[in-house]
Amino acid sequence: MRIGERHQASAVELDMTPMIDMAFQLISFFLFALNFAGADMDERIRLPISELAKPPEAPFESPITLQLNQRGLVFFAGEEMAIPTLRSALRREREFLQYRGGDPAKATVIIRADARAKTGVVQELIKMCQETGFEKFAVAAKQQQGT
Protein backbone atom coordinates (compact mmCIF):
# COMPACT_ATOMS: atom_id res chain seq x y z
CA MET A 1 0.00 0.00 0.00
CA ARG A 2 1.36 3.29 -0.92
CA ILE A 3 1.47 5.79 1.79
CA GLY A 4 0.48 9.22 0.60
CA GLU A 5 3.20 11.75 0.23
CA ARG A 6 3.21 14.13 3.10
CA HIS A 7 2.77 17.69 1.94
CA GLN A 8 3.90 20.57 4.05
CA ALA A 9 0.74 22.12 5.40
CA SER A 10 0.55 25.63 4.01
CA ALA A 11 -0.91 28.30 6.33
CA VAL A 12 -4.44 29.21 5.35
CA GLU A 13 -4.59 32.97 5.08
CA LEU A 14 -7.86 34.48 6.17
CA ASP A 15 -8.59 37.79 4.52
CA MET A 16 -9.68 39.96 7.45
CA THR A 17 -10.20 43.19 5.50
CA PRO A 18 -13.93 42.77 4.62
CA MET A 19 -14.75 41.70 8.16
CA ILE A 20 -13.00 44.72 9.69
CA ASP A 21 -14.68 46.98 7.13
CA MET A 22 -18.06 45.61 8.08
CA ALA A 23 -17.36 45.89 11.81
CA PHE A 24 -16.38 49.56 11.43
CA GLN A 25 -19.46 50.27 9.38
CA LEU A 26 -21.64 48.71 12.05
CA ILE A 27 -19.91 50.75 14.76
CA SER A 28 -20.47 53.92 12.73
CA PHE A 29 -24.15 53.05 12.34
CA PHE A 30 -24.67 52.49 16.06
CA LEU A 31 -22.74 55.63 16.92
CA PHE A 32 -24.93 57.77 14.68
CA ALA A 33 -28.11 56.04 15.84
CA LEU A 34 -27.23 56.54 19.50
CA ASN A 35 -29.99 58.57 21.07
CA PHE A 36 -28.93 60.45 24.18
CA ALA A 37 -32.41 61.96 24.56
CA GLY A 38 -33.63 58.44 25.20
CA ALA A 39 -32.13 58.63 28.68
CA ASP A 40 -35.20 60.58 29.78
CA MET A 41 -37.62 58.14 28.24
CA ASP A 42 -39.04 55.62 30.63
CA GLU A 43 -40.44 52.55 28.95
CA ARG A 44 -42.84 51.95 31.83
CA ILE A 45 -44.78 55.02 30.72
CA ARG A 46 -47.13 54.42 27.80
CA LEU A 47 -47.49 57.85 26.30
CA PRO A 48 -50.69 58.99 24.62
CA ILE A 49 -50.50 59.13 20.84
CA SER A 50 -50.99 62.29 18.85
CA GLU A 51 -50.73 63.03 15.16
CA LEU A 52 -49.29 66.46 15.96
CA ALA A 53 -46.59 65.27 18.33
CA LYS A 54 -43.36 66.39 16.71
CA PRO A 55 -40.00 66.71 18.41
CA PRO A 56 -39.34 70.34 19.44
CA GLU A 57 -37.31 72.41 16.99
CA ALA A 58 -35.14 73.85 19.77
CA PRO A 59 -34.25 72.19 23.06
CA PHE A 60 -36.10 73.38 26.14
CA GLU A 61 -34.35 75.68 28.56
CA SER A 62 -33.47 73.88 31.81
CA PRO A 63 -35.82 70.95 31.24
CA ILE A 64 -37.11 69.02 34.23
CA THR A 65 -38.76 65.73 33.34
CA LEU A 66 -41.50 64.28 35.52
CA GLN A 67 -42.84 60.86 34.63
CA LEU A 68 -46.31 60.00 35.86
CA ASN A 69 -47.41 56.40 35.73
CA GLN A 70 -50.87 54.91 35.56
CA ARG A 71 -51.10 54.55 39.34
CA GLY A 72 -50.41 58.24 39.93
CA LEU A 73 -46.81 57.85 41.08
CA VAL A 74 -44.11 60.15 39.79
CA PHE A 75 -40.64 59.08 38.71
CA PHE A 76 -38.25 61.93 39.33
CA ALA A 77 -34.49 61.97 39.88
CA GLY A 78 -34.37 58.20 39.84
CA GLU A 79 -36.97 57.80 42.56
CA GLU A 80 -40.60 56.81 42.56
CA MET A 81 -42.69 59.03 44.78
CA ALA A 82 -46.25 60.06 45.47
CA ILE A 83 -47.30 63.56 44.44
CA PRO A 84 -47.37 65.04 47.99
CA THR A 85 -43.77 63.95 48.60
CA LEU A 86 -42.67 65.44 45.30
CA ARG A 87 -42.97 68.97 46.65
CA SER A 88 -39.71 68.87 48.61
CA ALA A 89 -37.87 67.36 45.61
CA LEU A 90 -39.18 70.16 43.39
CA ARG A 91 -38.09 72.77 45.93
CA ARG A 92 -34.59 71.29 45.94
CA GLU A 93 -34.60 71.39 42.14
CA ARG A 94 -35.67 75.04 42.18
CA GLU A 95 -32.97 75.95 44.69
CA PHE A 96 -30.36 74.12 42.67
CA LEU A 97 -31.50 75.93 39.55
CA GLN A 98 -31.29 79.29 41.33
CA TYR A 99 -27.86 78.41 42.72
CA ARG A 100 -26.69 77.82 39.14
CA GLY A 101 -28.06 81.22 38.15
CA GLY A 102 -31.13 79.90 36.37
CA ASP A 103 -34.66 81.20 36.59
CA PRO A 104 -37.31 78.65 37.61
CA ALA A 105 -39.92 80.65 35.71
CA LYS A 106 -38.01 79.98 32.49
CA ALA A 107 -37.40 76.31 33.14
CA THR A 108 -39.71 73.90 31.34
CA VAL A 109 -41.30 71.06 33.25
CA ILE A 110 -41.85 68.20 30.81
CA ILE A 111 -44.65 65.92 31.97
CA ARG A 112 -44.51 62.42 30.54
CA ALA A 113 -47.83 61.10 31.76
CA ASP A 114 -49.16 57.66 31.00
CA ALA A 115 -52.14 57.59 28.64
CA ARG A 116 -54.16 55.77 31.33
CA ALA A 117 -53.30 58.22 34.13
CA LYS A 118 -56.05 60.42 35.49
CA THR A 119 -56.13 63.92 34.06
CA GLY A 120 -56.90 65.24 37.55
CA VAL A 121 -53.59 63.87 38.80
CA VAL A 122 -51.76 65.58 35.93
CA GLN A 123 -53.49 68.83 36.87
CA GLU A 124 -52.49 68.37 40.52
CA LEU A 125 -48.93 67.83 39.38
CA ILE A 126 -48.99 71.03 37.33
CA LYS A 127 -50.53 72.92 40.25
CA MET A 128 -47.79 71.72 42.59
CA CYS A 129 -45.12 72.81 40.12
CA GLN A 130 -46.78 76.22 39.86
CA GLU A 131 -46.78 76.59 43.62
CA THR A 132 -43.08 75.74 43.62
CA GLY A 133 -42.35 78.50 41.10
CA PHE A 134 -42.35 76.75 37.73
CA GLU A 135 -44.47 78.27 35.01
CA LYS A 136 -43.70 76.61 31.71
CA PHE A 137 -44.95 73.12 31.02
CA ALA A 138 -44.92 70.66 28.17
CA VAL A 139 -46.92 67.48 28.03
CA ALA A 140 -45.34 64.69 26.03
CA ALA A 141 -47.07 62.49 23.47
CA LYS A 142 -45.83 59.83 21.16
CA GLN A 143 -45.82 60.52 17.47
CA GLN A 144 -48.46 58.61 15.57
CA GLN A 145 -46.95 56.18 13.11
CA GLY A 146 -47.43 57.18 9.50
CA THR A 147 -47.59 60.93 10.07
Partner 1 sequence: MRIRNTGRRQEGVSLMMTPMIDIVFQLLAFFVMTFKVFSPEGDFNIRMPSAAPVAAKKTDDILMLPSLKVRLTADAQGRLTGVYLGENRMNNAAPFEELRRRIIQIVGDDAGPGSAEDSEIELDCDYNLRFEYAIDAITAVSGKIQQGEIIKLIDKIRFAPPRAS
**DSSP secondary structure letter of residue 110:** E
Provide the minimum distance between the beta carbon of 42 and partner 1 in the complex, in angstroms, as a whole number: 11
Provide the minimum distance between the beta carbon of 6 and partner 1 in the complex, in angstroms, as a whole number: 29
- The residues facing 75 across adjacent strands are 67, 80
Contact residue for partner 1 among 30, 36, 58, 99 (CB under 8 A): 30
Q: Is 87 in the site for partner 1 (CB under 8 A)?
A: no
Distance CA 75, CA 40 (A): 11
How many amino acids of this chain bind partner 1 (CB under 8 A)? Answer: 54
Contact status, residue 114 vs residue 46, Cβ threshold 8 Å = yes
Provide the minimum distance between the beta carbon of 21 and partner 1 in the complex, in angstroms, as a whole number: 11
Distance CA 25, CA 118 (A): 46
Q: Is 42 in the site for partner 1 (CB under 8 A)?
A: no
How many alpha carbons fall within 13 Å on the CB side of residue 69? 12
Nearer to partner 1, 3 or 39 (CB): 39
Nearer to partner 1, 3 or 50 (CB): 50
Least Cα distance to 129 among 145, 113, 105, 112 occurs for 105
Give, as ranges, the residues between 53 and 72 that touch partner 1 (CB under 8 A).
53-56, 60
Contact status, residue 97 vs residue 123, Cβ threshold 8 Å = no
Which residues contact partner 1 by CB under 8 A? 16, 19-20, 23-24, 26-27, 30-31, 33-35, 37-38, 41, 47-56, 60, 110, 113-124, 126-127, 130-131, 135-143, 145, 147
